[in-house]
Structures are given as structure tokens and as C-alpha cells.
Amino acid sequence: MPLTSPAFPMGPYRFVNREFLIITYRTDPAVLRALVPEPLEIIDPVVKFEFIRMPDSTGFGDYTECGQVIPVSFKGKRGGYTHCMFLDDHPPIAGGRELWGFPKKLAKPTLQADTDTFVGTLDYGPVRIATGTMGYKHKSADLAAVAASMATPNWLLKIIPHVDGTARICELVEYHLQDVVLKGAWTGPAALSLTPHALAPIAELPVLEILSATHILADLTLGLGSVVHDYLA
């Protein structure tokens, strides 16, 4: 982190009108097991592909991100393990990687309503590698269930190398969404297509069956993390 010109201010980080499109799908359990680090445990062969629009965030600005989150458990607690993330704004890339260990890379995700469809896309360079669609606000979701899902813990694998390339930090980090104000949530029919890419291998977790889709609008604070497992200890 540069001494005189950091890429981001220190938190807390408040997000206003943060909008999610979350498409949950069944995938190959063997591939999933190979990608999730211990001591996290896989619950079911399920992945959540999330497109997130953030028009107003403290210190990070106006940006969009997307990625894959895997439902897991840790010491009996259920939550999500963030497998990969792609976004279009440098400060949250730098802050996410340096503070928490978010696996963020630069790409071009979008999320918008297009007439009767909620559409999320992800371009890596000139290549369209993900497209998610959902019928726009077809049915109100169970707000209590959505709020409960947003209150669960989230885990990240934070790896920082030494100057010789070996791991100097290798930790499992836990964080929570805080002070959530849920403004609305909806469900509807959905579809998701993923395209193989050498540097953004999201398609290695293939879409075998769409299970559900949720559109969420909320204000929230991204809580700073805590280390719950040190792989080098």
C-alpha cells in the first residue's frame, strides 16, 4: 500500500442502494471439492453467481462487480466462500485485496433493467464470459429469509507473498454485512450462461441446473474482517 498515495480511504464502507442479482445453480460436486479450501466444508454442489451494482459507496465510488460465491460451513456456521470476483473500479480492487483478501480482478461487469428483464453481463477484455437474466420483479421474495441470508458470515482466502514469492500471509478471513436496510427483494425465472476463459475460469464450475434467482435492493455496511484460521501457524 503506497505511503503517500493510497488507492482507498480506511473504512467503514457504507453502500447505498446496492442492487444484487443472485442466480443460484447446481454444479459438478467433484470440481467444487477441488476448489474450496479446508477447513471450509461444502454443504451442497451449489454456486451463487452474483451481479452487484453499487452506485454510491463510501470511498470506493460508483462501480459494478460480479463473481461466484459457494455456500459452505465453518465450525458449524453456514455462510459463503467467495471464489472469484470481477469489477471495474481500482479502489475497491485494491482495498478488497489488501484488507480482506477478496479475489478481485479488473473486468467489465454490468447490471441493469432492460424493459421486462434484469440483465447482468461480464466482459473480460473483448470476450463476453457471463450473461445472467431474470424476469424483472415477477414476485416478491420472503424478506425475512433474504435478511437472514444476508446476515450469515462470509469467508475469504487471503494470500500475500513474501519478496521471494513464498506465502508470507495465508489466512482464512471472516467478514459480515452490517447495518443492513433491506429495501426490497424479488424472485423470477432466470437463466445463466458461462463461457470458458484462460484468465477468468468461471466456467470451470458448470451450470447444470438453475435453482433460483433473487433481486435485492439494500443499504449496508461492509464490515472489516477477522482472521479465523492461519494456515502458516
Q: What is the pLDDT of residues 163-183, one digit of tens each?
A: 999 999 999 999 999 999 999
Q: What is the DSSP string of the chain?
A: --SS--SS--S-EEEEEEEEEEEEEE--HHHHHHHSPTT-EE-SSEEEEEEEEEEEETTTEEEEEEEEEEEEEETTEEEEEEEEEEES-HHHHHHIIIII---EEE-EEEEEEETTEEEEEEEETTEEEEEEEEETT-EE--HHHHHHHHTS-EEEEEEEE-TTSSEEEEEEEEE-EEEEEEEEEEE--EEEEE---SS--GGGS---EEEEEEEEEEEEEE---EEEEETT-
The model's confidence at residue 217, banded by pLDDT at 50, 70 and 90, is very high
Closest CA to 158 of 204, 106, 226, 220: 226
Classify 13-230 by CATH class: mainly beta
Cell, residue 16: 447505498
pTM attached to this predicted model: 0.96
Q: Is 104 a catalytic residue?
A: yes
Q: What is the pLDDT of residues 19-44, one digit of tens each?
A: 999 999 999 999 999 999 999 999 99
Closest CA to 73 of 158, 150, 154: 154
The model's confidence at residue 2, banded by pLDDT at 50, 70 and 90, is confident
The catalytically annotated residue of 48, 75, 77, 104 is 104
Q: What is the pLDDT of residues 107-121, one digit of tens each?
A: 999 999 999 999 999
Domain locations in the chain as residue ranges: 13-230
Look at residue 106 and tell me whether its pLDDT is greater than 90. Answer: yes
> To the nearest whole percent, how much of the chain has pLDDT over 90?
96
Closest CA to 121 of 216, 23, 40, 44: 23
The CA distance from 85 to 105, in Å, is 6
Q: What is the pLDDT of residues 191-200, one digit of tens each?
A: 999 999 999 9
Look at residue 232 and tell me whether its pLDDT is greater than 80. Answer: yes
The CA distance from 195 to 47, in Å, is 16
pLDDT number for residue 15:
98
pLDDT number for residue 150:
97
Look at residue 1 and tell me whether its pLDDT is greater than 80. Answer: no
pLDDT number for residue 11:
87
